[in-house]
Chain A
Amino acid sequence: MADQAIFLMCSPRGEESASYSLGSYVTSLLEEKGITINEYHIYKTLRNQTKIDEMIKSVNDSDIIVLSSPLYIDSAPTNTIKIMNIITRAVQEEKIGKKKRLLLAISCAGYLEYYHNNIVLQIYEQFAKTNGFTWAGGLPIGAAGTYAMNTITSFLEQLAQLPEDDPRYEIYVKPTRILDSVIKGAVEYLSQGKVVPKDELQKLEFVAMPLESYVEGGNKNWINWAEKIGTVEKLRDKPYEIKQ
């Protein structure tokens, strides 16, 4: 059984991020199981050596590590790599002792397709392996921006009245229910000190809508934002083009 967990929240967008929304959902459910949570927002942690030392001590004390990060250019953002390096050094220096620790990683992509996260989840698995942590599994989240604007619970509440024949049911309700179910299942395994079975995680391997629909909707969102701040005409600027 697990007693303590650390939440490494690796998005620069803080509590407005999908990384926070999903990671904190996992840790809130772990907390309901009686597990103590220590939460570190790594962009703040990295600015302060005392905080870094505290974070290392917390990793040492933890049975579970929840790492939740955005996907930047097919891999981990610079500060997520930094925090992995700091933890690795602390393991080498024996500031983090040997014991069974589970690492669950969540990767949040802006693209619709979950599989853009596949490489970075393998990187997190290697991080676990390098440090003797037990790889508990990775959650590959596509269209993660959906959860930056809504927690899973509030989103499901908002959409509760949608009939099953409404097109938004397939696009939003069904995927969110699957994600909710996978996370709740993962928490059960983690709280018992077990890894999450691969077939559970594979339930997240779906594409919720036609690619073209996501492209159309996403592009409208960029235009809407630009219209609000008066930059639509500049969106296609080429500021670094070499003039021939």
Chain B
Amino acid sequence: MDYLILNGMHENDSFLQEINNRISEELDNQGLKGESILLHEKTIKPCLGCFKCWVQTPGICVIDDYGREVAKKMIQTDNLLYLTSIQFGGYSSELKKALDRSIGLLMPFFRVFHEEIHHETRYDKYPNMTVFGTLDQPNEQQELIFTKLVQRNSLNNFAPKFASQIIYTSDDALTIKGKIERGLSVLGDVNG
């Protein structure tokens, strides 16, 4: 698969759905194939914090629901895109319910990486990562937090390339197009 979009919109967030549509259209135009998952429609229970996906059933969450499928798709794609409204500077609960369940994509073992402790990789390749966040209006502090969060996630998820873009609901069509193009500019083929 070329790309996977995890759409973390809350129900009735028509703006984020519109952004999803535009991104899918742009990816189609680039000849990329993939899918978009509307997470609020999926039953994904919250992570139990049990670490059994690391020790008891290595690589697979012990909760048998759609969370497993999302984790599988996340590692099998070349390019992972998150869509979320920005909540206090972070991600939506809908996006996070899926991400929390994906830690089995990493190993339990620690290592020192970039002079910090991180987990070891489980797989040979990890996808590029782009995160689109939406806000009703500019918010300097939350934008800074969001940008740093994406950067930290890219480090912990071993993304070869990453980008983040913040789109305001007041942005005009041309501005949105430019932000989408910049966000998609890091995508590429990582899985051969």
Contact = CB atoms under 8 A, between A and B. Distances in A.
Interface in B79-112: 87-94, 96-97, 99-100, 102-103, 105, 107-112
A85 B92 CA distance: 9
Given A130-B88, A237-B59, A240-B76, A77 B109 contact: no
A235 B109 CA distance: 10
Contacts of A111: 110, 116-118
A240 B58 CA distance: 11
B55 interface: yes
Given A76-B90, A120-B90, A222-B54, A241 B49 contact: no
Interface string A106-121: 0000011100100110
Interface string B112-135: 100111100011100000000000
B112 A212 contact: yes
B148 interface: yes
B96 A215 contact: no
A116 B142 CA distance: 18
Q: In terms of DSSP, what is the predominant structure of the interface of chain B? A: mixed
Contacts of A70: 49
Given A214-B117, A222-B108, A12 B54 contact: no
B99 A215 contact: no
A111 B109 CA distance: 11
Interface residues of A, number: 51
A122 B116 contact: no
B29 interface: no
A79 B92 CA distance: 10
B110 A219 contact: yes
| Chain B interface extent, by class | 35 or more
A130 B94 CA distance: 20
Given A113-B117, A222-B55, A238-B123, 5 more contacts: A73-B96, A74-B153, A127-B88, A240-B75, A240-B76
Interface of B: 46-50, 54-56, 58-60, 71-72, 75-76, 87-94, 96-97, 99-100, 102-103, 105, 107-112, 115-118, 122-124, 141-142, 145, 148-149, 152-153, 156, 191-192
24 contacts: A11-B49, A13-B50, A17-B49, A70-B49, A72-B103, A77-B47, A77-B96, A78-B93, A78-B100, A85-B87, A85-B93, A111-B118, A112-B117, A119-B145, A123-B145, A212-B112, A218-B110, A222-B54, A231-B58, A235-B108, A237-B58, A240-B72, A241-B75, A241-B123
